[in-house]
Copies of this chain bind each other. A is one copy, B any other.
């Protein structure tokens, strides 16, 4: 998977479940293009478990990656990336969680994000967690999050050039 079969299109959406190999696949798509590359990280290290996850991901990446933290202001971070260079956003799900926890308007934030993705200065690969295929969650916040995530993925998939659904590390092309 280190070589993309075709040149990276303007907008790619990589969806999948937990530990389905989304980040690794997204990185491999970008690393087939000329570097350096921008990694926009949306994770906030609230606890030790999250710190360990972030460190694992960071250790895997080569020094050709330049990391930008954007837990909330994702749209401006995308617009500010170096022109003509590939950008990875990892991941939409944590960004949306941060937006909801900060009591920001998720719909307005999603609209602004979709606009920034369409006007990105270089090829953009977005990683998102598919969270809507289990039993309906008990608590209302989880349901609100699930709805917002599903709508965001639909809006991005509609304008994306390529959409893949990861199964056990293997990309299934949906668009």
Contact = CB atoms under 8 A, between A and B. Distances in A.
Contacts of A142: 135
Main secondary structure of the interface of A (DSSP, over half): mixed
Interface in A18-50: 18-21, 49
Interface string A143-156: 10111011101101
Interface of A: 13, 15-21, 49, 130-137, 140, 142-143, 145-147, 149-151, 153-154, 156-158, 163, 165, 167-170, 172, 174-175
B172 A168 contact: no
Contact of A167 (B15, B135, B137, B145): B15
Given A18-B147, A172-B174, 18 more contacts: A15-B167, A17-B150, A18-B133, A18-B136, A18-B146, A19-B132, A19-B153, A19-B154, A49-B140, A131-B133, A132-B133, A135-B146, A150-B168, A153-B169, A163-B168, A165-B167, A167-B174, A170-B174
Contacts of A140: 49
18 contacts: A18-B150, A19-B146, A19-B151, A20-B154, A130-B133, A131-B135, A131-B136, A134-B135, A154-B168, A154-B169, A157-B168, A157-B169, A163-B167, A165-B167, A165-B172, A167-B174, A168-B174, A170-B174
